[in-house]
Structure 1
Amino acid sequence: MDVAYVLYPNMTALDLVGPFEVLGCVPVVSPRFVARTLDPVRSDNGLTVVPTDTFDTLKSADVVVVPGSGHWREVLRESAELVAWLREVHPTTKWTTSVCTGSTLLAEAGVVTKATTHWAAREDLTVRGVEACTDRVVFDGKVVTGAGVSAGIDMALQLVEREFGTAVAQTVQVGIEYDPQPPHAYDSIPPEVTQNLRSLFAASQS
């Protein structure tokens, strides 16, 4: 099973690496890394990934994984080639997936009708005619979207279960010791934290 991970400047590394590690635990999965050119691609926090394929050379994939970015509106403005590739490759896939704001690129390509994304980017789905959901993982036909950043692991585990069965998904989950125990419950975090983040995100888009 070929899995094409989409690369572009300022992508969020965990959006890519989370699903890559989960899916990579399944022996039949072969990763590909596709970008506009074969030049190394730098993530928003500095991780650099070397593509194996370009949008011109890779025309089909069993699975496509589109990471998001904290600079998603800038990415949307500069993503014409990526979006065109998504439209072209989507009919060939068994699963087209995204993590975090990667779903806004699927929305821009017109290949999804219902999706989740990072909480700060839901309006960017709705303005593109996509039903924005608050669930951590959303299946919309063969399109699977994960919410913000860390949800890429959940998305990939659910995809493994759909494709290979519960026992394989459980094996992968135990193998990567995925048992989240964050220091703060979501409902205990003060609202000003979210507001401060909104301001930071807004500043990053300008």
Structure 2
Amino acid sequence: MTPSTTRPTTRRTLLRGTVATAALATAGVAPSGRAHAEQPERDGPHIGILLYDGYSLLDPTGPAEVLSRLPDARVTMIAERRGPVRTDTGDVAVMAERAIDEVDRLDVLLVPGGGNRGTVAAMRNQALLRWIRHIDRHSRWTASVCTGALVLAAAGLLKGRRATTYWASADYLRSEFEVTYVPERYVRSGKIITAAGVSAGLDMALYLASLMAGEATAKAIQLAVEYDPRPPFHSGNAADADPQLKERALRLLAASQV
């Protein structure tokens, strides 16, 4: 390259290169243009996120975005069978890289919630429940998001514990499974951490990151993903919502699910 075509290294060009590399990495493409075929082997925690037909999209993907940034962590989507698994709206599918019979140990197990159809089916799926119990026996942490707490409860893991879940499922969790419902964004009971509805999985994941790698790392991850929520409305807390708003929220959910 001749001097006339050489671009000087400045802060601006360095940032441009960093952003371009990050964008390629996010898209799953190496800077050389080669696609990543397999996850690299890492020495850090192995985090498994269970998928089942009818889960809610943000429940697994929000925590995955946070926990995949832990140093040397490996996040794997797992389902009864490998392949795409559709959400409760039916509009999106996430790829399960491993089947449950291929995974015997995990450092962290996370169970998402879903629509009524998906959650009820998961609660009745004895193969899934047996696998959840088996993994929990050896995991460092077992977590849930939203109605994933009902799935953990159906597996027998929440009996006598404090836990949270989606606000509309609180009475059911409390009455059917001998669980002390706590209306918080996330609740820790021993090694089990439950999160409230959908978006609360991000808060729970950052808390879990702090337990696994320290507060400084968790804070850095929060900045890395620029999680600084400032919603346009103060309507996300069920404790502050009137009955009409709650009814409308549940109607919207029901209408969007398949």
User: Does the alignment reach a TM-score above 0.5?
Assistant: yes
2:96 aligned with 1:51: yes
* Alignment pair present for 1:191 and 2:243: yes
Q: State the AA in 2 paired with 1:120.
A: A
- In the TM superposition, 1:70-89 aligns within 5 A as 70-71=115-116, 73-76=119-122, 78-89=124-135
In structure 2, C-alpha distance between the alignment counterparts of 1:77 and 1:93, rounded to whole Å: 20
Counterpart secondary structure, 2:66: helix
Higher Cα radius of gyration = 2
- What are the superposed Cα offsets for residues 58-96 of structure 1, whole Å, 9 maximum, x if unpaired? 111000111100225533454222111111110110000
Give, in whole Å, the separation in 2 of the partners of 1:204 and 1:125: 23
Q: Distance in 2 between matches of 1:77 and 1:165?
A: 33
Pairs within 5 Å for 1:1-206? 1-45=45-89, 46-71=91-116, 73-76=119-122, 78-112=124-158, 113-126=161-174, 127-186=176-235, 189-199=241-251
For 1:201 and 1:168, how far apart are their aligned partners in 2?
Answer: 35
Instruction: Report the CA distance between 1:57 and its aligned residue.
Output: 1.6
Report deviation, 1:11. 0.4
User: AA paired with 1:60?
Assistant: R
Alpha-carbon distance in 2 for matches of 1:88, 1:160: 23
Q: 1:192 to 1:81 in 2, by over 3 A?
A: same
**Amino acid corresponding to residue 233 of structure 2 in structure 1:** H
Work out the CA distance in 2 between the residues paired with 1:120 and 1:81.
Answer: 27
Q: Structure 1 length normalisation: TM-score?
A: 0.92
Size of the aligned set, in residue pairs, is 206
Change in 2 beyond 3 A, CA 1:81/1:200: farther
> SS of the residue aligned with 2:101?
coil
Instruction: Point out 4+ residue stretches in structure 1 off by more than 4 angstroms.
Output: 187-190, 199-205
User: After superposition, what is the alpha-carbon deviation per residue over 1:24-68, rounded to whole angstroms, capped at 9, x for unaligned?
Assistant: 111311011111111321112322122121121211100011110
Amino acid at match of 1:140: S
Q: Secondary structure at the match of 1:145?
A: strand
CA RMSD of aligned residues (A): 2.1
Structure with higher RCO (Cα < 8 A, 6+ apart): 1
